[in-house]
A = this chain, B = another copy of it.
Amino acid sequence: MESRLIPEKNDLTDRIVGRLVAYRRLLMRLMSQDVSLVSSKAIGDWLGIKSSQVRKDLSYLGEFGKRGVGYSVPRLLSDLSGILSPFSPWQIGLVGLGHLGEALLGHSAFFGHNYEIVAAFDVNLSKVGHYFSDRPCYDLKDMPSKIAELGIGILMVTTPASVAQKVVDLGLTSGKIIGVLNFSTAKLSVPDGVEVVDVDITVELEKLLFRLKLQEQRRLFDQ
């Protein structure tokens, strides 16, 4: 859990970080099963990637393995956590308390880690003032002041696409927002220094459907 500097270069790409998160998740499971040693091959097999990929990824962080032996599970876990954990916990605000918003509030990953959803915002006054999965819902109008009050630095946007830019602009007026996790299909524009990550469920589904269409076509015509 000790938080340390990110080693050497800033050359840890999004892609690599995504895998590091998966490694950490696996290591936590192995840890709880009292496995103390693991090889890059074993990690790769669990996650469906090549062992060389695992070794390359881990080598960016330093030399954590023992040749001929493998990696110490507790050691590697604590090193990964050090890299991935923030310097101090993040407070997250969720904007748009529809079905998806409620689902994310109920998601166990967003309770009490190094990041936490601390409040929700909505325009629907029947929701304002009530609690959802133990988090208060405030009026969207009060968002800028509540962001400052609660130390929120990140917004999760689960509004319809048509209002996503508007709520983000409102949040940005607080001057405290540095990151946005965007679940809407809108392409957000934000000032330099604010990071946006898009999570587009329907695009993922359509990629799957297209792969299935290709399969079907192959079955019908090729071979």
Residue from the list B10, B17, B48, B106 in contact with A98, Cβ < 8 A:
B106
Determine whether the beta carbon of A178 is less than 8 Å from that of B102. no
Within 8 Å of chain B (Cβ to Cβ): is A6?
A: yes
Determine whether the beta carbon of A209 is less than 8 Å from that of B86. yes
Determine whether the beta carbon of B215 is less than 8 Å from that of A193. yes
Given contacts A103-B99, A214-B10, contact A208 B179 (CB under 8 A): yes
Within 8 Å of chain B (Cβ to Cβ): is A204?
A: yes
How many Å lie between the Cα of A153 and that of B86 in the bound state?
41
Within 8 Å of chain B (Cβ to Cβ): is A212?
A: yes
Determine whether the beta carbon of B201 is less than 8 Å from that of A207. no
Chain A interface residue count, CB cutoff 8 Å, equals 61
Given contacts A187-B48, A201-B199, contact A14 B207 (CB under 8 A): yes
Given contacts A90-B212, A103-B102, contact A205 B181 (CB under 8 A): yes
Within 8 Å of chain B (Cβ to Cβ): is A217?
A: yes
Among the listed stretches A18-26, A30-38, A70-78, A121-129, which one makes contact with chain B, having 4 or more residues with CB under 8 Å of it? A18-26
Copies of this chain in its oligomeric complex: 2
Within 8 Å of chain B (Cβ to Cβ): is A87?
A: yes
- Interface of A, secondary structure class, is helix
182-202 of chain A: CB within 8 A of chain B: 185, 187, 193, 195, 197, 199, 201-202
Within 8 Å of chain B (Cβ to Cβ): is A211?
A: yes
Given contacts A98-B106, A207-B17, contact A195 B213 (CB under 8 A): no
Determine whether the beta carbon of B212 is less than 8 Å from that of A178. yes
Q: Can you list 10 A-B contacts with CB-CB less than 8 angstroms, sorted by A residue number?
A: A86-B216, A99-B103, A100-B103, A109-B202, A109-B205, A179-B208, A181-B204, A181-B205, A195-B212, A199-B199
